[in-house]
Amino acid sequence: MKKSFIPAILFCLSSIILGQSVDLYGDLKPGNIIFGKGEEIKNILLDNKEISFDKDGNFVFGFDRDAKGKHFLVVQLSDRTVIKKIILPEREYKIQKINRMKKKYITAPKEETDRIKSEREISKQARAKIGEVTEALYSSGFIRPIKGGRISSVFGSQRILNGIPKNAHNGIDIAVPRGTPVHAIADGIVRLSADNFYYAGNYILLDHGQGLSSIYLHLKKSLVVEGQKITKGEIIGEVGTTGRSTGPHLHWGVQWFDQRIDPFSLLKVKEIFN
């Protein structure tokens, strides 16, 4: 990571608003994605970590569900450096209690341990490719993966299953009939088309460039293969209830590298893609 060009005044400035040459779109809060566009960009750092940008000046970054505190975005242009100080507000999430759930949906059987470990390694290797594409494949904008449907679980909610606290829900669940078409939310590349994983079932991982990715879990079937280029709106699979699922629905997740992002935050940003 390049760190040398950060001006010494970075740590004594309260805030410098980005000028007309750099625009940001999105809400600066935990679990949200932020899109940017600039002119004659030379380098971008978020908290001393380099962010990629394309020839048109498009870039993206996001904050994890549990992110907090103070952050600095530093954009080096051809003639000056501009700095944005970001102080994240606290964000509250819903608590979802589900009782009388079958034990198999709460704790995996010991005999499945090796299988789960192997599947996690496959997913890890696929995710290692996220970030290799510096082009903003997402630049044509975003759509919902499913038209309509009932939101059965929201992003970030804390699940308590039969009284046992579990990990936060890192996506959005959309309940629709089995076989409902699932659409790619944006242009991308298929990094993984998984077959019957223990937790995720049949699922797809799409790479949208610059570290932005989306996943589609519990599919009845996938209609794509790894390495395939996908366009926004293309049908990539069908809703099912494979893996650890109690009924037909789509689990739709979004990440910026390892930062867990609220998928709905992508849909709220429209100005930059018009």
pLDDT at position 150: 96
71: β partners = 86
Give the model's pLDDT for residue 92.
86
Domain at 8-88: CATH code: 2.60.40
Q: What per-residue confidence (pLDDT) applies to 169? A: 87
- What are residue 139's phi and psi, to 5 degrees? -65, -10
Partners of 273 in beta bridges = none
pLDDT of residue 240: 98
pLDDT of the chain, 274 residues: tens digit per residue = 444 444 433 333 333 444 547 899 999 999 999 999 998 999 999 999 999 999 999 999 999 999 999 999 999 998 889 899 999 999 888 887 776 666 655 677 888 899 999 999 999 999 999 999 999 999 999 999 998 999 998 998 877 777 777 778 899 999 999 999 999 999 999 999 999 999 999 999 999 999 999 999 999 999 999 999 999 999 999 999 999 998 999 999 999 999 999 999 999 987 787 6
Question: Quick check: 1 and 49 in contact, CB under 8 A?
Answer: yes
- Domain 95-273 - what CATH class? mainly beta
Which amino acid is residue 183, in one-letter code? H
**Residues near 118 by Cβ (< 8 Å), separated by ≥ 6?**
none
Residue ranges covered by each domain of the chain? 8-88, 95-273
